[in-house]
Structure 1
Amino acid sequence: MAAARAEGAFVLDCREPAEYEGGHVAGAHHIPLQSIPERMGELPDGRPVYVICASGGRSLQATDYLRQAGVEAYSVVGGTTAWAAQRREMETGRATTA
């Protein structure tokens, strides 16, 4: 995902708010896993969505749901744990709303 992110890929963080606030991929859009069905309108049309959580379990669930809904979605292997371990760009704080 790092190469795709460098090119402006849409990253969806599906963790809980406290997890997201503690550290997330820079620029990631936050929608907790349970809120995805009612917030589908926040996803981009015609662009892939890279779904991330802490280690991969929730992102796999979200990816399966999104694919069934016709979204080109990919689960990020290793999640934010692996992303941070690779010293990739992270930020902290609350999600901003549009």
Structure 2
Amino acid sequence: MFERFLRRAEEAQTVPTIAVREAWERLARADGETVLIDVREPWEYRSGHAPRAVNIPLGQLAARVNEVPRDREVLLICLSGHRSAQAARLLQRLGLSRVVNIKGGITSWRLHGLPIE
């Protein structure tokens, strides 16, 4: 049981994480190299989301993995950063390597005054 706990801790540490301002800077570049996926439920997404965010709820992510580009950096966001970290680990297990969790989620995004649609 303790080994399973340690394995989960290791998995949690392997997900790259960035702050919301860095995420915004990466998305603001005109190179199209970065995509943003919002893993919240549709009703949460409709209440306000980052510009150009694509909504794929965490519960649908495995079934819709073919919608996630493999040739670009994928930033993941949710309300607080917890579900997006889970999504990043899931995508890693499904073979995607360029996944990044946004620390603090849309809550932090709003607190930093970043654009919301």
Deviations along 1:1-39, one digit per CA (max 9) or x if unpaired, are 121111242000000111000000011000000000110
The alignment status of 1:49 with 2:74, answered yes or no, reads: yes
The Cα shift of 1:45 comes to 2.6
Q: Which residue of 2 aligns with 1:23?
A: 48
Based on CA coordinates, which of the two structures has the bigger radius of gyration? 2
Which runs of 5 or more structure 1 residues have no equivalent in the other structure? Answer: 92-98
1:3 aligns with 2:28: no
Unaligned 5+ segments in structure 2 are 1-22
Aligned partners of 1:46 and 1:29: how far apart in 2? 16
Structure 2 SS opposite 1:11: strand
CA–CA distance in 2 between the matches of 1:67 and 1:3? 23
1:39-87 alpha-carbon deviations (Å, 9 max, x no partner): 0111113111000000011001000001111211111001000111111
* CA distance in 1: counterparts of 2:79 and 2:88, whole angstroms: 14
Q: 1:64 aligns with which of 78, 89, 99?
A: 89
Per mean C-alpha deviation after superposition, the further-off stretch among 65-74 and 49-58 is 65-74
Task: Supply the RMSD in Å over aligned alpha carbons.
Answer: 0.9
> Could you tell me which amino acid in structure 1 is paired with residue 105 of structure 2?
G
Runs of 4+ residues deviating >6 angstroms = none
Q: % of aligned pairs identical?
A: 37
